[in-house]
Amino acid sequence: MEILRIENLKKEYGQGENAVCAIDNINLSVERGEFIAIVGPSGSGKSTLLHLIGCVDQPTSGQIRIDGNDISKYSTKEQALFRRRKVGLIYQFYNLIPDLTVRHNIELPLKLDKRKVEQDFFEDIVKKLGLTDKLDRFPGELSGGQQQRVAIARSLIYRPTIILADEPTGNLDRKNSAEIVEILKYFNQQLKQTILLITHDEKVALQARRIITLEDAKIVRDEINE
């Protein structure tokens, strides 16, 4: 079943002479439950693509359909609900609220929907990410890798259909990054969550079933990794 379909997607930054084309006419189709790695040189438009799918940035033209709905036509309210319930975004730079403890940072998406936290699931995630004894700390008191893991936990808590991860292992050592990929794979298999993961690390990329390569704002390769 197709969950994501991208047609003629284009994103330009700036105007006139200074215009930069970050995404240039991309077409893409993703099935439910796929685990995709996105690779490519720096500045090729990987993050931009993820932000567009995650609905935190608006395309210049083209369509992004998720479950058949064109998200670029969403009202701001629908966009907000989409971000809250459908996608979990993990940024290249960790994006936590400095004034909230780790626990509250993780719970945030649920609390925005006034939903109760499923304790078992919460503890499961936290344990898998090795954050159990860090729950009462503030982000400023954690290392970069730990903060990244908190961001991952937050993206998982709502059980979104799509997880968009922008170099989640960029700040981690080999052992830790392997662990993270394992966790993502686990959720991919258990909950049938679709995962799009950006990485510069070949080892990480090779864990994915499908590898998409971006270059100069275009998809230059799209292959199944056996």
Ligand X SMILES: Nc1ncnc2c1ncn2[C@@H]1O[C@H](COP(=O)(O)OP(=O)(O)OP(=O)(O)O)[C@@H](O)[C@H]1O
Please tell me the distance from the alpha carbon of residue 66 to that of residue 2, in angstroms, as a whole number.
8
* Residue 43 contact, options ligand X, other proteins, Mg ion, none, Cβ 5-8 Å cut-off depending on partner type: ligand X
The token duo for 154 is 């937050």
Phi, psi at residue 143, to the nearest 5°? -80, 170
Among residue numbers 170 through 209, which ones bind ligand X (CB under 6 A)? Answer: none
Q: Which is nearer to other proteins, 1 or 140 (CB)?
A: 140
Please tell me the distance from the alpha carbon of residue 216 to that of residue 225, in angstroms, as a whole number.
23
Q: Does 43 bind ligand X (CB under 6 A)?
A: yes
C-alpha of 129 from chain center:
16
* Residue 138 contact, options Mg ion, ligand X, other proteins, none, Cβ 5-8 Å cut-off depending on partner type: other proteins
Neighbours of 186 (CB within 10 A): 12
In this chain, which stretch among 45-53, 100-108, 111-119, 178-186 interacts with Mg ion, using CB under 5 A? 45-53
Q: Does 199 bind Mg ion (CB under 5 A)?
A: no
The token duo for 130 is 């090795």
> In one letter, which amino acid is 70?
D
In this chain, which stretch among 29-37, 65-73, 92-100, 114-122 interacts with Mg ion, using CB under 5 A? 92-100
Residue 141 Cα distances to 129, 137, 144, 157, 214, angstroms: 17, 6, 10, 22, 36
Binding mask 182-201 for other proteins (x = CB under 8 A): --------------------
Among residue numbers 7 through 36, which ones bind ligand X (CB under 6 A)? Answer: 13-14, 20, 22
What residues line the site for Mg ion (CB under 5 A)?
A: 47, 92
Contact set with ligand X (CB under 6 A): 13-14, 20, 22, 40, 42-48, 92
